Chain A
Amino acid sequence: DSGVTQTPKHLITATGQRVTLRCSPRSGDLSVYWYQQSLDQGLQFLIQYYNGEERAKGNILERFSAQQFPDLHSELNLSSLELGDSALYFCASSVGARETQYFGPGTRLLVL
């Protein structure tokens, strides 16, 4: 158990819908990262927050957004969902930059 929690574990929804994925980092970690894992793209970095502020963006679609709250938990919002958004979404956390990232169990999203 890494100490990073993600909810829900599974999510099934329809195209065009909007979903919110939630992540709670390890106690004491200020950085939260979101990654997408799909069969064709592999593991891709989406976005990073540090102590409530966005720090880095990867290949995150404009339909996707995230935020980190004062209690340091983070949410990833996916809207106007498409079939191709079906993937495993991981959250990771670390104490700071260039520190070891610890991953949560992931949220498996299926868009039908």
Chain B
Amino acid sequence: KQEVTQIPAALSVPEGENLVLNCSFTDSAIYNLQWFRQDPGKGLTSLLLIQSSQREQTSGRLNASLDKSSGRSTLYIAASQPGDSATYLCAVKANTDKLIFGTGTRLQVFP
């Protein structure tokens, strides 16, 4: 059974810092991995999608990597800003076509 774990559960950093969020999964048989952002009380916004054949994806200040063999992904946020404060969720799409989520990392960036 696929399990997704995110570390740390919460993170508080000063503005301007570069930071890394971690995601690990137990079964490497995945279609893709997706990173989402969720603001309090809101839905999920897709940030980056990495297909199983890819190693990384970049969008602006965000870079996500995927190492299928070790069951790991990282989300790198460069030059963090207070507007980046949110919960970040990773999810893997299993070969059952089901998206399985981690419990998220709650990020606070203070001025």
Please say whether chains A and B are actual partners in one complex.
no
